[in-house]
A and B are shown apart, each in its own frame.
Chain A
Amino acid sequence: MTALLWTLIGGLGAAGWAMLAWHRGETVSAAWLVVAAVGSYLIAYRFYSRFLAHRVVGLDDTRTTPAHRLSNGRDFVPTSRWVLFGHHFAAIAGAGPLVGPVLAAQFGYLPGTIWVVVGVILGGAVQDFVILTGSMRRDGKSLGQMARDEIGPTTGVLAMVAILAIMVILLAVLTLIVVKALTDSPWGVFTIACTIPIALGMGLWMRWRPGQTLQATAVGVVLLLVAVVAGRWVSESATLAPVFTLSAVTLSWWLMGYGFLASVTPVWLLLCPRDYLSTFVKVGTIFTLAIGILVTMPAMHLPAFTRFVDGTGPVFAGALFPFCFITIACGAISGFHALVASGTTPKMLDRESDARIIGYGAMLMESFVAIMAICAASILDPGVYFAMNAPLALLGGSAATAAHAVQQWGFTLAPGQMDALARSVGETTLLARTGGAPTLAVGMAQILGGAFGRAGTAIWYHFAIMFEALFILTTIDAGTRVGRFMFQELAGHLWKPLGRTSWYPAMVLGSAAIVAAWGWFLIEGVTDPLGGINSLWPMFGISNQLLAAVALSVGTTLIIANGKARYAWTTLLPLAWLLLICSSASWQKIFSQDPHLGFLSHAAQTTAAVTAGTIAAARGSRLVFNDHLNAVLCGLFLVITWAVVLASAKVWLQRWRPDPAPDSAAALAA
């Protein structure tokens, strides 16, 4: 009976893939995308995660977990598996799996879909699961601590430097996404501005009545919805609209100021209430979107493959290999998860066997969020998708020039189409809103409008923008703090007092240093004629994938140390793939002859333009400096990762020992 059921699930999944691969009509229903993905997840969970849990890691419920052994009622708390699943999922899912797939839709919907599904099954979920179990068996130690203990002290420091650098790029690119969505949008700016007083109010309430966290959060969510609706009124008011209409550069400075102030404010006042708000809204919206897609089953208009697989695409430079796999990090494999999987979650596992659904299962769920993002981008007219995501430099300033540019790329776009769409969502323009959030919001507005009523398209759009900007702003605050602690830990080696986390001057200095670092990349991105996402998002992808490579190196070391060397291929396989794509992508980003792609050739092109007098000398030298900075950073990421991998490989060779007689293979199929 169960065999029949699994054959059925397998058959359905295969049918989904077959429809996606061979369907050659105008459109294909998003239902097939969902069927193919979910069928694959179920099969992978049932068979591959079982193999990982039983053979590779050997989960054993007779061992006590740290939640029981070190139980303190605070962070070490035995938690039932579905509650912990929710907690872990809420911690790992964020803007990443929503943005990457939207950008990668430049290649068509199929490359991203295949990578998201295959990548998560063989890579991302394996990484999360192995790191979670490794940390669980080491009293909840962090990735950095495990790197230090298992591989060596130098590797520990390298891992920390890598994490800090990644944090800076991450914060810059996430803030840039918010800037792209809110530029010249009084409705959006007003709604997001409202989240600050709402959070402050909640913070004071919860400080005064610590028992009423849920009540305060519920009121906060209601106020947030009021702010979304009230935004329309602000955008239509002749006096208020200009106040909330901000240029990209002004908005960037405001966000940097916010990041700095938020990160030196006590956690209870701002970060904590924001965290609750964004978790509520995030989980609620993802759930609503899933229902919306299942109810409407929209048709996808984007082709399976576009002509831009050759690397000439307007959204970001680079060919399908390796840049599809760089652009989609979160959703397929995300190194950042290794930090969460070695953070709060391992301290809450009730039984060892729960790690399978939480480590492997929650990552499959995040991958499904990425699939929903692909759906949302694919149901748009391809012409609209490219008009929203190509840089202004290629589109020209008006709807007419944009329509012309899109037609040159082989898609259709009526001149009035973009203006009508912008008006329907209460914006003045949607051209060149690269970064995923607005595209996703338009797609979500179509899906949710279709499922729950067309009348409120503009409300749904601004709800979607609020939802993304809300948790990105929370990440800016939390990330700047984490960066500050790391900065202080490193700076403390140079001068002791700088390492004291409770010393106010050191705190302010640390926060200012981190904000200045990500702010630099942010301003660079905002003033970049090609739109910034073009160069920053690949840098973020590379750094996140390289962190995953570090995590998989640590994971391999853990498996070998556990005496399971013959199963080390489970982590070595995704590691080899990541090293291949990251090394080739970094190499191309630094040395490619194409100035759209290579930092050095872009610098050379800019220098030539300065000599020819087409670019002002001051602007030119800044562009060249930024190109060189990006090239150095890209190279640094690569060198650090290879150093960690090689140091780990040395440990693998030392510890490699053939295991005792292998168990019968028949047990595998059980």
Chain B
Amino acid sequence: MTVARLVAVIKRICGMPDYAAYVAHLAAEHPERTVPTEREFTAAYQKSRYEGGANRCC
């Protein structure tokens, strides 16, 4: 397992934003869209993660 892969796994488990994966997704599926900056992406990600419903248990 490469370091980059390990970092991606840890980020996914902890629910951290993964900008590299998002950029790859845009390039593959929506090449016409403009790529947001890492800060914009992170802000949008956090908004959808914490301002929705419950994402953890007691």
A→B interface (CB under 8 Å): 71-75, 77, 79, 83-84, 86-87, 90-96, 142, 144, 163, 167, 170, 174, 206-207, 210-211, 213-214, 217, 267-268, 271-272, 275-276, 279-280, 283, 330, 334, 336-337, 339-340, 343-344, 474-475, 478-479, 481-482, 485, 501, 544
Q: B33 to nearest A CB, angstroms?
A: 11
How many angstroms from the CA of A163 to the CA of B53 in the assembled complex? 11
Check A330/B49 contact, CB under 8 A, given A73-B26, A275-B15: no
Interface size of B by CB at 8 A reads 37
Q: How far is the CB of A164 from chain B (nearest CB, A)?
A: 11
Q: Is the CB of A544 within 8 A of B14?
A: no
Which residues of the partner chain A approach B38 to less than 8 Å between Cβ atoms? Answer: 210-211
Q: Using Cβ atoms and an 8 Å threshold, which residues of chain B touch A213?
A: 11, 16-17
Q: Are A93 and B25 in contact (CB under 8 A)?
A: no
Residues of B within 8 A of A280 (CB): 14
Q: Is the CB of A336 within 8 A of B11?
A: no
Q: Is the CB of B19 within 8 A of A211?
A: yes
- The answer to whether A344 and B58 touch across the interface, beta carbons within 8 angstroms, is no
Q: Which of B30-58 contact A (CB under 8 A)?
A: 38-39, 41-58
**Contacts A79-B12, A268-B46 given: A96-B25 contact, CB under 8 Å?**
no
> Interface residues of A: mostly helix, strand, loop or mixed?
helix
Contact between chains at A86 and B21 (CB < 8 Å): no
**Which residues of chain B come closer than 8 Å to A344, judged between CB atoms?**
15, 49, 55
* Contact A210 B22, beta carbon cutoff 8 Å: no
Cβ contact of A276, chosen from B9, B16, B56, cutoff 8 A: B16
B19/A91 in contact, CB under 8 A:
no
Partner of B54, one of A72, A283, A340: A340
B residues near A (Cβ < 8 Å) are 7, 9-17, 19, 21-22, 24-26, 29, 38-39, 41-58
Whole-angstrom distance between the alpha carbons of A268 and B42 in the complex?
Answer: 9
Shortest Cβ-Cβ A-B pairs, 4 listed? A73-B25, A86-B13, A96-B58, A73-B22
Query: Does B22 lie within 8 Å of A340, measured CB to CB?
Result: no
- Per the bound structure, the CA–CA distance linking A207 and B43 in Å amounts to 9
| A94, B58: Cβ atoms closer than 8 Å | yes
- Please, how many angstroms separate the alpha-carbon atoms of A73 and B42 in the complex? 12
B46 contact set on A, CB distance < 8 A: 267-268, 272
Identify 28 residue pairs between A and B in the complex whose beta-carbon atoms are under 8 Å apart, listed by A's number: A71-B25, A73-B24, A74-B17, A74-B44, A75-B49, A77-B25, A83-B9, A83-B12, A87-B14, A90-B14, A91-B56, A93-B57, A96-B57, A142-B53, A174-B58, A207-B39, A210-B38, A210-B42, A217-B16, A267-B51, A268-B46, A279-B14, A330-B58, A340-B55, A340-B57, A481-B50, A482-B53, A544-B58
Question: Measured between alpha carbons, how far is A334 from B58 in the docked complex, in Å?
Answer: 9
Query: Contacts of A142 on B, CB cut-off 8 Å?
Result: 53
User: How many CB-defined contacts (below 8 Å) exist between A and B?
Assistant: 132
Q: Other than the known A280-B14, A501-B51, what 11 A-B pairs have Cβ atoms closer than 8 Å?
A: A84-B12, A87-B15, A92-B56, A210-B42, A217-B16, A283-B13, A334-B58, A336-B54, A339-B54, A478-B56, A485-B53
Nearest Cβ distance between residue A627 and chain B, in whole angstroms? 25
Known contacts: A267-B50, A268-B46. The answer to whether A214 contacts B11 by CB under 8 A is: yes
A481 to B22, CA, bound (A): 27
Judging by beta carbons under 8 Å apart, are A485 and B51 in contact? yes
Complex-state Cα separation, A92 to B54, whole angstroms: 11
Say whether A475 contacts B58, CB under 8 Å.
yes
Q: Are the C-beta atoms of B53 and A343 separated by less than 8 Å?
A: yes
Asked if A214 and B10 make an inter-chain contact with CB atoms under 8 angstroms apart, the answer reads yes
Complex: how many Å from CA A211 to CA B16? 10
Q: What CA separation (Å) do A485 and B48 show in the bound complex? A: 13
Whether B50 lies near A272 (C-beta < 8 A) is yes
Least CB separation from B37: chain A residue = A210
Give the nearest-CB partner of B43 in chain A: A268
Across the interface, name the chain B residue whose C-beta is closest to A75. B48
Complex CA–CA separation, A86 to B11 (angstroms): 11
Contacts of B13 in A (CB 8 A): 83, 86-87, 90, 279, 283
- Complex CA distance for A75 and B48, rounded to whole angstroms: 8
B48 & A74 in contact (Cβ 8 Å cutoff): yes
Contacts of A283 in B (CB 8 A): 13
Cα(A261)–Cα(B5), bound, Å: 37
